[in-house]
C-alpha cells in the first residue's frame, strides 16, 4: 500500500516536470519568433526610409547631372559668343554692290568727267587705293543725322555717300584684307560710274526692305533709279541719277518706314564737303 502511494507521487512529479519543460520550450520559441519579427509599424518605417534614401540618391544624381549639363551648356554658349565676337570683329564691313563687282549694268563714263564734282584722276585713284590699304578712310563720308523719330532703328542707322573716291578706297581696303593684294589703277577705275551717285545705309534689325529712301533738294523730291537690299536686311543702297542733282546746293536725304511714312530719319548732304 505504501509502495503504491509512492509510485503515484512519482508519476505526478514526472508529469509536473514534463509540463514545466514544455511550457519553458513554448515560451522560448515564442520569444524567438517575437524578436525575429519587427512590428508592422517599424517595418513600414524602415521601408519608407529605404525608399526615401533611394529617391534622394536619384535626385542628387539628377541634380549633379543637371548642374554638369548647365555648366557644359554655359561653357558652350560662352565659347559660341566668343567665337561670334571674334568673327564679327574680323569681318570686313559690308559694302554696296558697286564696291563688290565691276559695274556692267548701264554704266557709261562721261566723256568729260572733270565737269562732275566727284571726278577722280589717276593720281586721286592711287591716293584712294593707298588710303583704303592703310584703312584711313574713317568716317569722312558718313552723313550727319539731323532728325529721327524712327526710334532705335534711326538711332543705330548710319548713312554714307558713296563717291567714286569712297568706292575705290573701300574696294582697295576689302581686297587688301581678304585677298592680301593691292588693286591697280585700271582695276579700280572699272568701279567708277559717273552717271549714278549712291547712298548706303547700314541698318539694325534687318529693316532694309521695309524702309524707303528719298532725296530732296530746293523743294523738289528726287526718287532713286535703283535700289539694293542685302539678304540679311542690314544694308540698303539707293542709286540716284547724277543729272537730277544740283551739286552746288545742299540736299536732304530721308529714310522712312514704308508702312508709316510719318516715321523717318533725315540726313544733311553738303556735296562739296565730300570731295577729295
* pLDDT tens digits, one per residue of 162-201: 999 999 999 999 999 999 999 999 999 999 999 999 999 9
| pTM (whole model) above 0.75 | no
Domain span at residue 112? 97-274
Q: How far apart are CA 226 and CA 205, in angstroms?
A: 23
What ranges in the chain are assigned the alpha helix state H? 2-36, 40-90, 122-133, 152-155, 164-179, 185-189
- Least reliable range by pLDDT among 25-29, 184-188, 253-257: 25-29
Q: Judge whether 196 and 241 are in contact, CB under 8 Å.
A: yes
Q: Same structural domain for residues 84 and 112?
A: no
Q: SS3 letters for 205-262?
A: CCCHHHEEEEEEECCEEECCCEEEECCCCCEEEEEEEHHHCCCCCCEEEEEEECCEEE
Q: Same structural domain for residues 101 and 70?
A: no
Bridge partners, 271 (sequence order) = none
pLDDT digits (tens, 9 = 90+) for 197-251: 999 999 987 899 999 999 999 999 999 999 999 999 999 999 999 999 999 999 9
* Domain termination residue (choose one: 22, 56, 88): 88
Q: Same structural domain for residues 103 and 47?
A: no
Q: How far apart are CA 190 and CA 68, in angstroms?
A: 58
Q: How far apart are CA 272 and CA 248, in angstroms?
A: 7
What total number of domains does the chain contain?
2
pLDDT digits (tens, 9 = 90+) for 124-160: 999 999 999 998 877 899 999 999 999 888 888 999 9
* Domain termination residue (choose one: 88, 106, 121): 88
Q: Same structural domain for residues 81 and 157?
A: no
Q: Same structural domain for residues 125 and 190?
A: yes
Query: Residue 146 maps to which CATH number?
Result: 2.60.40.10
Residues 6 or more apart whose CB falls under 8 angstroms from that of 29 comprise none
Q: Same structural domain for residues 133 and 265?
A: yes
**pLDDT confidence of 69, banded at 50, 70, 90?**
very low
**pLDDT confidence of 7, banded at 50, 70, 90?**
low
Q: Same structural domain for residues 155 and 130?
A: yes
Q: Same structural domain for residues 78 and 107?
A: no
Q: Judge whether 190 and 103 are in contact, CB under 8 Å.
A: yes
Q: Same structural domain for residues 11 and 30?
A: yes
Q: Same structural domain for residues 18 and 142?
A: no
Q: What is the CA radius of gyration of the chain?
A: 46
> For residue 49, what pLDDT is reported?
47
> For residue 108, what pLDDT is reported?
41
Residues 6 or more apart whose CB falls under 8 angstroms from that of 128 comprise 120, 165, 166, 168, 169, 172, 188, 276
Q: Judge whether 93 and 139 are in contact, CB under 8 Å.
A: no
> For residue 72, what pLDDT is reported?
42
Q: Same structural domain for residues 123 and 230?
A: yes
Q: Same structural domain for residues 152 and 257?
A: yes
* Domain termination residue (choose one: 88, 121, 146): 88
Residue entry with cell 524567438: 32
How distant, in Å, are the alpha carbons of 22, 38, 218, 267 from that of 172?
116, 91, 36, 27
Amino acid at each position: 500500500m505504501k509502495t503504491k502511494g509512492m509510485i503515484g507521487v512519482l508519476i505526478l512529479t514526472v508529469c509536473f516536470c514534463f509540463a514545466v519543460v514544455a511550457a519553458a520550450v513554448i515560451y522560448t520559441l515564442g520569444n524567438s519568433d517575437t524578436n525575429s519579427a519587427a512590428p508592422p509599424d517599424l517595418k513600414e518605417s524602415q521601408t519608407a526610409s529605404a525608399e526615401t534614401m533611394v529617391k534622394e540618391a536619384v535626385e542628387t544624381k539628377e541634380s549633379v547631372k543637371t548642374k554638369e549639363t548647365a555648366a557644359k551648356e554655359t561653357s558652350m554658349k560662352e565659347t559660341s559668343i566668343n567665337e561670334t565676337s571674334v568673327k564679327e570683329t574680323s569681318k570686313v564691313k559690308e559694302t554696296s554692290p558697286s564696291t563688290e563687282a565691276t559695274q556692267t549694268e548701264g554704266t557709261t563714263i562721261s566723256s568729260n568727267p572733270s565737269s562732275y564734282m566727284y571726278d577722280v584722276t589717276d593720281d586721286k585713284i592711287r591716293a584712294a587705293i593707298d588710303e583704303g590699304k592703310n584703312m584711313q578712310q574713317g568716317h569722312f563720308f558718313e552723313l550727319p543725322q539731323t532728325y529721327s523719330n524712327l526710334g532705335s532703328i534711326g538711332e543705330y542707322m548710319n548713312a554714307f555717300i558713296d563717291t567714286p573716291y569712297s568706292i575705290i578706297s573701300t574696294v582697295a581696303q576689302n581686297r587688301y584684307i581678304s585677298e592680301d593684294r593691292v588693286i591697280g589703277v585700271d582695276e579700280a577705275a572699272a568701279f567708277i560710274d559717273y552717271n549714278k551717285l549712291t547712298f548706303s545705309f547700314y541698318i539694325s534689325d534687318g529693316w532694309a526692305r521695309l524702309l524707303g529712301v528719298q532725296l530732296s533738294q530746293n523743294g523738289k523730291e528726287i526718287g532713286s533709279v535703283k535700289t539694293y537690299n542685302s539678304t540679311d536686311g542690314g544694308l540698303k543702297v539707293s542709286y540716284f541719277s547724277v543729272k537730277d542733282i544740283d551739286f552746288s546746293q545742299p540736299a536732304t536725304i530721308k529714310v522712312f518706314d514704308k508702312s508709316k511714312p510719318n516715321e523717318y530719319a533725315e540726313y544733311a548732304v553738303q556735296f562739296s564737303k565730300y570731295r577729295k
